[in-house]
């Protein structure tokens, strides 16, 4: 299974940070591998204390299901999601704000944001993905 490198993840963070600064947001962004294991993250000065954990949990959801975390919200109470959230120790949030990262149609990780609105979280994640030259769609 292919993964993002740390260098690639850092480019994604820089792109996401540029979008946050443009929007005047104080957020956290997490980049995970396809299993949902953390590669790197940052919390901007002044971002709420909970944002690192939430950004990672959204990224875990996007990586695990290879789709935007917001698309998982409607079925969040389904047994499969509840079971997976329990299995992950509550470290998965099927709520808008994270996107999978694909290279040549293969999942290589995911990016999740927290601290803005759900749409701003997703927009910053997307900006990071595009800055790295990747796609959020297969």
pLDDT tens across 25-53, in order?
A: 999 999 999 999 999 999 999 999 999 99
Residue 121 in domain: yes
Q: How far apart are CA 72 and CA 97, in angstroms?
A: 11
> pTM of the entire structure?
0.95
How many structural domains comprise the chain? 1
pLDDT tens across 77-135, in order?
A: 888 878 888 888 878 999 999 999 999 999 999 999 999 999 999 999 999 999 999 99
pLDDT of residue 75: 83
- 69 token code pair: 């975390």
Residue 33 in domain: yes
The secondary structure of residue 93, as a DSSP letter, is -
CATH number at residue 116: 3.30.450.150
Cβ(114)–Cβ(58) under 8 Å? yes
Residue 44 in domain: yes
What are the φ/ψ torsions at residue 72 (nearest 5 degrees)? -90, -15
3-56-95-135 Cα dihedral, nearest 10 degrees: -30
Q: How far apart are CA 65 and CA 37, in angstroms?
A: 14
User: Where in the sequence is the domain holding 68, given as residue range(s)?
Assistant: 28-131
pLDDT of residue 80: 81
């Amino acid at each position: 299974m292919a993964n993002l490198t740390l260098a690639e993840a850092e480019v994604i963070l820089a792109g996401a940070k540029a979008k946050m600064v443009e929007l005047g947001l104080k957020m956290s962004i997490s980049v995970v591998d396809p299993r949902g294991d953390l590669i790197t993250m940052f919390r901007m000065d002044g971002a709420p204390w909970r944002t690192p954990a939430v950004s990672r949990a959204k990224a875990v959801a996007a990586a695990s299901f290879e789709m935007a975390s917001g698309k998982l919200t409607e079925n969040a109470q389904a047994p499969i999601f509840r079971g997976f959230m329990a299995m992950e120790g509550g470290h998965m949030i099927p709520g808008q704000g994270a996107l999978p990262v694909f290279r040549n149609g293969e999942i290589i990780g995911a990016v999740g944001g927290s601290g803005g609105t759900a749409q701003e979280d997703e927009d910053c994640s997307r900006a990071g993905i595009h800055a790295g030259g990747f796609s959020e769609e297969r």
